[in-house]
Structure 1
């Protein structure tokens, strides 16, 4: 049977709940057996507001998730901590959002689901709701799964001189203030990230010998030390050592020219040194058609490429494209490892 994809519905005041409803209402064939994780009453309320006729059968956690049917969204229930209104954040629901993640993680770890897909949450709500150390889905999943390192990677499609290909951008550092990034680029860190990236491209995406392009940290990749020494002292020695292990690594390359179709031709993934070095380019190329993927976990996890869009919540104008891609990629990854 098709893999079970556990879909967390995210921040209840945002567009997450309605994206799940709208995707099912669209009657587009889904890549797996989708089960939403959230409050059934919230989903029913949002469906009524949008004028959507959706069946929301509530399943026990051990019930088998049925084959996907148009207009039907099975639900593993989690109860809101406080009433939710579209567009109005309430920190009282921080625990609710985290519980939906915990339910999905547990289902993946015990085999009831083969992948989890996450709708957007609001970091500020989680922090204000009593979780001051929360920094995002990626880090929460890392800690919940008990692994030391994970890698954030976004993927979309891009036209290149040799044809359409995947554009995948992974990050050497994630949610850090810019002034802390240089100190975070270390030999040990780059080594872990590149090994995870290389290994999971092979494991989940059937890339036998991944070719990875690595961005420099500084403008012009440091200009031979004149615009910063991180390339000379950290990045270049690390890449040379990993090439001796068999990794196919290009770089470090200037990021301002690397992200062009000619230079990306034949590249399986790009490693950017920090969040806003790589992701603006990918989102410009494929916003609404990209998936966020967490590598290095013992489970499959993908997500949308956007935030909670509070201004669109409850309007029915949200774009379901990224959620559809995230579900497709999750199903592809689950099938690759035999789920």
Structure 2
């Protein structure tokens, strides 16, 4: 295998240095058209004969698609950390390995989380809209009053790499750190982060001023922040989600925001992907971003480099460093 150029199919345009490197190393089929999500029919047409598929979260890789790919497909090297769009179990049943790119987006996503916390609490988008509409008439003591983040209680739901990176940033802003996780951190990590562990998510959310969602989407986290839990939060609290939209019941969140049961929200991910609740778009106390938490040039290139390392390691007959197993999803 090492002497043969692997046949690789990518589903989206990737940074130029990544595409150039793939072209040097593999027999790669790159996207040449616009950069929209690759439609299922188009992907099915290029899959037969491919040995490696490099998808993104925009493509659903299910058992039916794997059947069309046939016996030639041996590796799905996902460009991104999340793999809930891939039927990992079905892939493994067919002897297809799945890899991802963990750890690359940690700092970028944590930066965006803090940006959303500041944008919501300081009403930045409302100020921007006022300026763009030409409605600002000068400084006023009572215009667009927000709140300080210093001294506020931040709760982090999911204290993995990104959650801990958020905690480090928030602590520098003077926020108190609280967290709920499926397992408690080691005491020395808690001490370094100044973080308090809550075994009960219900009790934690009732205590918070800001809740940051940083856990993956799994069957156990689907709608973890449901209508009941959202109602436990203070009416002055805000919720920020840069992880997965499915963790929050978006309809319940919208109702709570419209009813004044929550002060605001900052969202970079959505339960329906690009299909966003139109009522959510209308709210002035909500900051909506187009899933750009990891959108830095450096991060995207590092993701591509990880994909290439996984493919080359597989090509050399070794276990890829970022192998995903069904138990991890």
Query: Same fold by TM (over 0.5)?
Result: no
**TM-score under structure 2 normalisation?**
0.35
Which structure exhibits the higher relative contact order, with contacts defined as CA atoms closer than 8 Å and separated by 6 or more residues?
A: 1
**TM-score under structure 1 normalisation?**
0.34
